[in-house]
Structure 1
Amino acid sequence: MGSAALPAQKGSTSVDRRVFMADGIGVAAGLSLPHPPGPAGPPGGIGAVGTTHLLALRAHLSSLFQLDNAFGGGDVRSLAVRHLRRVRRIINTGQYPDTIGRQLQLLAGETAEHCGWLYYDADEQDNARRYWGEALTTATMLRDTNLEILVFSSMSLQACHEGRARDGLELARAAQERATHLGSPVLQSLIAVREARALSLMANGTDAKRRLSAALQLVDRQDRGRPCPEWADFHGHAELDYAHGLLYTDLGNHRAATRFLSAALAHQEASYGRNRALYRITLALALVNAGEVDEAAAHAVGSLEALEEVESGRVMRRLTTVTKSLQAVDARSARAAAEELTEYRLAKEAA
């Protein structure tokens, strides 16, 4: 999922960023359904639905994945919600055989899950839960293992984010049990990382390290077994480095954390703009904790240019944490960086 990002000018406004996104959004919105052949359906219906329609709808969902990777969930979620409404309308007003109907229902579930993810990234957790509940209902109704794995793994992240690490571990294990039967090493690796995150938050560093070791071995076997689903394309060595960085942060070994977080930033592709911004801000926080204040301040301020292109509540929350950490340090570079970060955050909130 590689939506390339153009460089933004430092100091551009939120409106400038939305204009910057216009080309990508235009691609997503332009993937309209072909005019359906055949007899008309009920009043307001779209008539006969076939494979061509499904391909167009799936292409639209793929474009939403790409926009999210590049820009975060803030602005993309409204597009995803509208896409879900479109799919629901087609399900309820179109004419199609049962085979097409099942694929439409599955697409609705996958789109609902992505809406949940986008609200999670925007840090609106109640809305995320609502859409994930809808997606899980669809997965259960269709008995679709892939969708169950996707929902459980996403809900695991949310549980950890909200301080419910035990729930996060059980959800990740439920996803892993299903993924093991599918035989996709990359997918199993991704879920092992989420198991490790929950374990580290439970202060079980030994088992967390064991799961990360397994995740590394699995991702190196990606040429075997089934390919991973599209939503898991982002997973690779950058994500594993980031997971190790978080683990060592939880364990209090901040110097080790900075090495892994630096590697994660170096390995992450430019098309994943939101993750690059998150990685750099997390690296700045680890550097503060490691006593490398000047380098931390430089990374924190350097992240602002990338943030002009990103709208993510999770990233902004991390930026606030870094700002507070820098404010607590008695160093000129830290104070100057904290002032600039605060000014940026207030301007973004006011925009």
Structure 2
Amino acid sequence: MIVSRWTGTEVRALREVALRMTQEQLAAASGFKPPTVRKWERATAARPVRGESAEALDTLLGRLDDAQRARFRDALAIEPIAKAATTDAGFVPAVRDSLAIGGSECSEVDDEVKRREFGILLGATLLATGSRSIGVTDAQRVSRAVATFAEQDQNVGGATLVDTAVRELEVAKELIETCSFSDNAGKAFASAAGNLATIAGWLAYDADQHQLARHCYTDAFSLANQAGDDELTVHVCLGAAHQAITLSRQGFGNPHRALTLISRARELTHGLPPGRIHALIATRAAQAYGVLGDRANFSRCIATAWRELDFALEHEPLTECAKWLHFVNSTEVRCHEARAYGDLGNWSKAAELSGELAIEKAGTRNAVNYRAGWAAALAQAGDALGAVSIGLPALEQLQAVSSTRTLRVLEPVRSAVQPDSAFGLQFDDLTKKAARA
């Protein structure tokens, strides 16, 4: 059991119901002072408990015995659904409808039954017992919710959605642990949960929460293995490889790990006809070789990516393609080709290619990311004025699209301008907001 965000609701449930302590007693148990505990209990979703305080609460939560844990879940389960969480984009009701474990009846249970309120995504309260069964219909509801996450990601960005997605992933994992199911239903649900873990990993990556993204991808690999779902494994490999490449650019990752993941994806798709999946695999490989400074392999892989994409555009209708591959188009390939040229030190070429991107045809989140990459390439090429003219609209879009990853892409532009410039002030303001989120 985890709490992804500590607000006053969770703190009071832990203190009053699970531990049955006073504020003074909780302060002593956690190593803090009573005024700090009172501050925790005033925390909101917008300003949750953070840092060492959150770690102390995590430790107390981890030490609960079964009875205390059940009381904690019960306390959260009676909170009104509307109070749990909402988003500015009106996301919650749609997902709540799509994920309510639907139509299945839960039997009456005693006080030892573990109950958990999941903020929004499963509707009201989930009662998980050994006799509770899940079916293919439940897997379909999870899949619809995954699609909703992907759609909303383009509208509002990963930082807005990641906590919600992670909470739901914990629900799905607990269902697999505590419910009964047939072989077919179990595989279908594990596959759907794996796709949920994959989108949660992507949202965490977009929010610049890389450790959380790794945990989600690890869950996704495990669930894909349980389901025997090779397509899901490929999806996870390419998502995790993309994260590894990004971290390599920042000096915190290993492009060789990305290539290992890409190789696994290539093995699993061997024999499939030409199309978008091969284009994406080749694009990821081209990125990794760009980071490694391997021009020959970069050129080979990017040529393969364009060849596969050209075939897909002529012979692979979107209706015959997995939905998670729909984003693979000429703009996406060109974007990563441009960034790989930057990795190779050819910033003029990177800026030239970035300027050719058809960003008006992209989703909102993708469009701002493409624009940010273009601005960064201009800054690296020495064109500070051009970088600001392209980067300022990206900053304005980031007021509504919460993508910390994209904000990080704009760091070269920030370095190229004066601190008190319009760009510098807006960038710093968004950075502070991202740190508080």
TM-superposed CA distance for 1:115, in Å, is 1.8
Equivalences for residues 67-78 of structure 1 within 5 A: 67-78=152-163
Distance 1:261 1:344 in 2: 24
Distance 2:174 2:350 in 1: 48
Alignment check: 8 A CA contact 2:371 2:391 kept:
yes
TM-superposed CA distance for 1:110, in Å, is 1.9
For the structure 1 residues 84 and 249, does the alpha-carbon distance in structure 2 shift closer, same or farther, using more than 3 Å as the test?
Answer: same
TM-superposed CA distance for 1:199, in Å, is 0.4
Alignment check: 8 A CA contact 1:186 1:227 kept:
no
Distance 1:114 1:91 in 2: 18
Alignment check: 8 A CA contact 1:237 1:267 kept:
no
2:345 match: secondary structure: coil
2:95 is matched with 28
Number of aligned pairs? 328
1:301 aligns with 2:395: no
2:264 is matched with 174
Residue deviations 1:157-188 (CA, integer Å, cap 9, x gap):
12222221122122112212212334361011
TM-superposed CA distance for 1:322, in Å, is 2.1
2:243 is matched with 158
2:390 match: secondary structure: helix
1:251 is matched with 344
Equivalent in 101, 123, 145 of residue 60 of structure 1 = 145
1:345 aligns with 2:431: yes
Alignment check: 8 A CA contact 1:285 1:325 kept:
no
1:114 aligns with 2:199: yes
2:271 match: secondary structure: helix
1:201 aligns with 2:284: no
Alignment check: 8 A CA contact 1:41 1:93 kept:
no
Equivalent in 253, 272, 275 of residue 185 of structure 1 = 275
Distance 1:350 1:116 in 2: 21
TM-score using structure 2 length = 0.68
Alignment check: 8 A CA contact 1:136 1:148 kept:
yes
TM-superposed CA distance for 1:347, in Å, is 5.1
Equivalent in 172, 194, 203 of residue 87 of structure 1 = 172
Structure 1 stretch displaced more, 57-66 or 117-126: 117-126
1:214 is matched with 304
Distance 1:242 1:209 in 2: 15
TM-superposed CA distance for 1:190, in Å, is 0.6
Alignment check: 8 A CA contact 1:184 1:228 kept:
no
Judging by fraction of residues, say which structure has more helix: 1
Distance 1:276 1:71 in 2: 12
Equivalent residue letter for 1:243? H
Equivalent residue letter for 2:193? A
Distance 2:387 2:226 in 1: 49
For the structure 1 residues 237 and 290, does the alpha-carbon distance in structure 2 shift closer, same or farther, using more than 3 Å as the test?
Answer: same
Distance 2:428 2:128 in 1: 51
Distance 1:45 1:174 in 2: 36
For the structure 1 residues 147 and 348, does the alpha-carbon distance in structure 2 shift closer, same or farther, using more than 3 Å as the test?
Answer: closer
TM-superposed CA distance for 1:82, in Å, is 2.5
For the structure 1 residues 316 and 208, does the alpha-carbon distance in structure 2 shift closer, same or farther, using more than 3 Å as the test?
Answer: same
Distance 1:98 1:203 in 2: 47
> Gapped runs of 5+ residues in structure 1?
1-13, 329-333
Alignment check: 8 A CA contact 2:140 2:192 kept:
no
Distance 1:313 1:224 in 2: 34
Alignment check: 8 A CA contact 1:265 1:279 kept:
no
For the structure 1 residues 266 and 316, does the alpha-carbon distance in structure 2 shift closer, same or farther, using more than 3 Å as the test?
Answer: closer
Equivalent residue letter for 2:403? S
2:226 is matched with 141
1:283 is matched with 374
> Using CA pairs below 8 Å that are at least 6 residues apart, which structure has the higher relative contact order?
1
For the structure 1 residues 211 and 227, does the alpha-carbon distance in structure 2 shift closer, same or farther, using more than 3 Å as the test?
Answer: farther
Q: What is the percentage of aligned positions where both structures have the same residue?
A: 24
> Gapped runs of 5+ residues in structure 2?
1-44, 47-84, 114-126, 249-253
TM-score using structure 1 length = 0.83
Distance 1:93 1:170 in 2: 34
Alignment check: 8 A CA contact 2:395 2:426 kept:
no
Residue deviations 1:193-232 (CA, integer Å, cap 9, x gap):
0000000111111211221111111112222499432222
